[in-house]
Structure 1
Amino acid sequence: MIDKLELLLALAKERHFGRAAEACGVTQPTMSTSLKQLEEILGVMLVQRGSRFQGFTPEGERTLDWARRIVGDARAMRQEINTLKDGLSGEIAIAAIPTALGMVASLTTPFRARHPNVRFRIVSCTSIAVLGLLENLEVDAGLTYLENEPLGKVRSIPLYNESYRLLTAPDGMFGDREQVTWKEVGQVPLCLLTPDMQNRRIIDRALKTAGAEATPTLTSNSIIVLYTHVKTGRWASVMPARLAQTLGLSDAVRTIPIVDPTVTYSVGLVVPQRDPLTPLIAALAQTAREVAPTLEP
């Protein structure tokens, strides 16, 4: 049964029979047979079939919810037994929003000092994708905003509060100021993250509240692209203060607090709403709780 539920989860991820079969290391006929057997066991149709994948039936969507729970518990059981035998080992996959990537090392470094047999895999994606990957068991934890948009069924551990700075050259617009308002920021040609990123939506909302709007001259889904442009001293951007500090901008760039209003958002670790957590994720959550006080400004 578990292997059939794993195939169902793969289909939910890939939305394509051939790619799902390939991801699971089976042939497409084997996958189709296994899914039909699962439908026979449950007595309902799970997948809307045609010449290509068309989606899940209502019963299939509900079965997916159970599959995530059952497969997650089975993986947790195997991991806990292995931990009792060999200690903490294996891989932790973390999905992080771009603005939190600079903080990942604050978690992984103290964790690995305590558990040297654990490996990490870090992926960068939007806040929506973080939650989707977590729900579908494709990652073990996420770093994302905790209060701006619905999180769903997860446990959250606050790590730090994100505030915002205008990054510009000393001779750039408002470059000689000690602080600027959001309305003034709306007058600056900026390079910003793309609109699908929650950080960009936060910036757009803050500007709109101040009666302004963003006028980006460059957009990207990569913080590195923004960073390299700002570092030339010829581009401006809005970035979280902690991220700017982590990136280590050059002397050619000033980081100026943005006020009126002062905007802050909580960023933290999110893990599955499961009891008990797997040993690896429980240890990661504990590390996050220990690290959080050190991340306060």
Structure 2
Amino acid sequence: MIDKLEYLLALAREKHFGRAAETCGVTQPTFSAGIRVLEETLGMPLVERSSRFQGFTPEGERVLEWARRLVGDMQAMRADIIALKRGLSGLLRIAAIPTALATITELTTPFRAQHPDVRFSIQSCTSNEVLRRLNNFEVDAGVTYLDNEPIGRNRVVPLYQERYRLLTAANAPLGRHDRVTWAELGQIPLCLLTPDMQNRRILDRLLRNAGVDLLPTLESNSIVVLVSHVQTGRWACVLPEKLAEIFGLTAKLRAIPIVAPEEVHTVGLLLPDREPMSPLAAALVQIAHRHAKDLDDVSR
């Protein structure tokens, strides 16, 4: 039965019978037959069918919720048993918003020092994609904003407070200021993340509240693209404080605090709210709590 539920989850991810079958390592006829067996066992249609996948029936949507829970528990049980026998090992999958990617080393480095047989997969995603992948068991944990948009019924561990800096050339307009306001940003050419990013939606709101009707001269979903354009001296961008520090500042670049208001948002770890947690997730939570406590001690 579990393998049939995994078929259903694959279909929810891929929304295509052929691709879903491929991810499950079976032929499409075998995959379709497995879905039909599940429907016959439950005594109800789960998938809206025509010449192609059309979606799930209301009953299918409800079964999907149970499938996520049951498959997740089965995977956690297998990992727990293996950890008892061999110690912690395997692949830890983390999806993170782009503005938090550079801080992931603060979790993965101490994790690997404690559990050297664990490997990591770090994926850059929008905040909505972090939630989707977490809910579909495509990742074990997410790193995203905790206090700005809904995050569903998930376990959270706050990691750090995000504050914002104007990254600009020292000889550019505003480049010599000790601090700038959101209203002043309307005076300069900005490159920003794309609107599908939650960071961009936060910045749009702050600029709009400051009376700035901004049309960025460049948009990208890559932080590297934004910073490389700032380095030309012709653009500026708004970055979280921690990210600006990690990129490193030369004599030509400055990271200037943005005030009026000085906006703060919490970024943290997100995990499915279930007990018991998988061994990898439980170990990650321990590392995250320790990291958050160290930051709190430093700030005092």
Percent same amino acid at aligned positions?
63
Counterpart amino acid of 2:141?
A: A
Alignment of 1:112-151 (within 5 A): 112-151=112-151
Counterpart amino acid of 2:215?
A: T
What CA distance in whole angstroms lies between the structure 2 residues aligned with 1:133 and 1:15? 14
Aligned positions, number: 297
Kept in 2, the 8 Å contact 1:169–1:236? The answer is yes
Bigger shift: 137-146 or 226-235? 226-235
Counterpart amino acid of 2:180?
A: V
Query: In structure 1, the residue corresponding to 2:93 is in which secondary structure?
Result: strand
Kept in 2, the 8 Å contact 1:186–1:215? The answer is no
Aligned-pair CA distance for 1:250: 2.4
Alignment-derived partner of residue 269 in structure 2: 269
What CA distance in whole angstroms lies between the structure 2 residues aligned with 1:88 and 1:120? 13
What CA distance in whole angstroms lies between the structure 1 residues aligned with 2:233 and 2:22? 47
Kept in 2, the 8 Å contact 1:88–1:280? The answer is yes
Kept in 2, the 8 Å contact 1:168–1:237? The answer is yes
Kept in 2, the 8 Å contact 1:193–1:200? The answer is yes
Alignment of 1:110-259 (within 5 A): 110-259=110-259
RMSD of aligned alpha carbons: 0.9
Aligned-pair CA distance for 1:231: 2.5
Counterpart amino acid of 1:249?
A: L
Alignment-derived partner of residue 289 in structure 1: 289
Aligned-pair CA distance for 1:153: 1.6
What CA distance in whole angstroms lies between the structure 1 residues aligned with 2:102 and 2:118? 20
In structure 1, stretches of 5+ residues that fail to align are none
What CA distance in whole angstroms lies between the structure 1 residues aligned with 2:32 and 2:238? 49
The TM-score with structure 1 as length reference comes to 0.98
Alignment-derived partner of residue 45 in structure 2: 45
Alignment of 1:76-95 (within 5 A): 76-95=76-95
Query: In structure 2, the residue corresponding to 1:123 is in which secondary structure?
Result: strand
- 2:118 aligned with 1:108, yes or no? no
Aligned-pair CA distance for 1:235: 1.7
Alignment-derived partner of residue 61 in structure 1: 61
Alignment-derived partner of residue 72 in structure 1: 72
What CA distance in whole angstroms lies between the structure 2 residues aligned with 1:21 and 1:215? 44
Kept in 2, the 8 Å contact 1:146–1:158? The answer is yes
The TM-score with structure 2 as length reference comes to 0.97
Counterpart amino acid of 1:248?
A: G
Aligned-pair CA distance for 1:104: 0.4
Spell out, residue by residue over 1:65-113, the C-alpha distance to the aligned partner (whole angstroms, 9 max, x if none): 0000000000000000000000000010000000000100000000100
Call closer, same or farther: CA 1:295–1:248 in 2, change over 3 Å.
farther
Would you identify which runs of 4 or more consecutive aligned residues in structure 1 move more than 6 Å?
none
Counterpart amino acid of 1:133?
A: R
Counterpart amino acid of 2:198?
A: Q
In structure 2, stretches of 5+ residues that fail to align are none
Bigger shift: 252-261 or 208-217? 208-217
Kept in 1, the 8 Å contact 2:171–2:252? The answer is no
Query: In structure 2, the residue corresponding to 1:143 is in which secondary structure?
Result: strand
Aligned-pair CA distance for 1:264: 0.6
What CA distance in whole angstroms lies between the structure 2 residues aligned with 1:156 and 1:232? 39
